[in-house]
Amino acid sequence: MSDTLENRTRTTTSPAVVLPPRPSRLAQTVATAVVGLVLLVSVTTLDVEWAELRGLPAAVGEYGVLMFADPDWSRLPRALFEMWRSISMAWLGALLCVVVSIPLGMLAADGVGPAWLRLALRGVFAVIRAVPEVIIALVLLTVTGLTPFTGALALGIAGIGTQGKWTYETIETLRDGAADAVRAAGGGRTAVIRWALWPAALPALLSFALYRFEINIRMSAVLGIVGAGGIGSMLANYTNYRAWDTVGMLLIVVVVTTMVVDAVSGALRRRIMEGP
């Protein structure tokens, strides 16, 4: 009897379970409504003949037959040479990007550069990322002319924004143990960068540099269309003349070369990040 009363007393005196408040979904609802509104306005304001989309598969098939049924391989040596020029532009652009962006990106990281310098560099990186490579190439064309150097310079400048952001984000994700040890030994800011931050961030930065080279390979073909040289210029010329058999051959060269470069670069990046 006493045990029953004791159990009842414990039951009646136990604190009530307080459930947490239900999370508000107002922000998600508003964001969904805004995205839907933007999509609706975009669809209704674009001057698009939606009825013509029904004939798109047939048109794609027709031009696919014109380009790939019997490609013109007689201009393959010239295509390979222009593809090599595009690869050279991509490589030079990647080197320029890495040489400039890594030191500046490290200075833009928290705990490395002063606050005013960090904010200024991050602002510059954001502005560069906002400008497409094609626009940069068109601006440079007025200074450097229609040369592959224009394409390499445009790729290098355009990559600084992204590579710099990758750099300071990589530095900020590193553990502070090595940096604290260097500071405890009396090392200054330069010693911390040289002996703590740089060795720890080097594998990731090399991987990002190779990935930037992969991006430049694809972008070099686009820059060639605006007159920067390389396989893109050759592709634009034969497209204007409606030489579809040659265009098909050029597209095959671009696709195969890009896939080979991506495979080799991807293997190198995995080797750098994961080891043998």
Q: Which residue has the higher pLDDT, 182 or 36?
A: 36
Q: What is the CATH number of domain 70-175+201-274?
A: 1.10.3720.10
Q: Which residue has the higher pLDDT, 194 or 82?
A: 82
pLDDT attached to residue 258 = 87
User: How far apart are alpha carbons 227 and 13 in whole angstroms?
Assistant: 83
Residue given tokens 């930065």 in the structure block: 205
User: How far apart are alpha carbons 131 and 128 in whole angstroms?
Assistant: 5
Residue given tokens 């229609």 in the structure block: 146
| Per-residue pLDDT at 256 exceeds 70 | yes
pLDDT attached to residue 123 = 92
Percent of the chain scoring above 70 in pLDDT: 86
| Per-residue pLDDT at 118 exceeds 60 | yes
pTM: 0.74
pLDDT attached to residue 124 = 92
| Per-residue pLDDT at 34 exceeds 70 | yes
* HSE, side-chain direction, 13 A CA sphere, residue 202: 7
Rounded CA Rg of the chain: 28
What residues does each domain of the chain span? Answer: 70-175+201-274
Residue type, 123: G
| Per-residue pLDDT at 4 exceeds 60 | no
Q: Which residue has the higher pLDDT, 176 or 166?
A: 166
Q: Hey, what's the torsion of the CAs at 243, 244, 246, 251, to 10 degrees?
A: 140
- CA distances to 31, 172, 211, 264, 269 from 205, in Å: 35, 13, 10, 17, 10
Give me the chain's average pLDDT, please: 81
pLDDT attached to residue 127 = 92
- pLDDT (average), residues 118-139: 89
Q: Of 120, 111, 28, 143, which is closest to residue 128 (Cα–Cα)?
A: 120
Residues in the chain: 276
Read off the pLDDT band of 8 (50, 70, 90). low
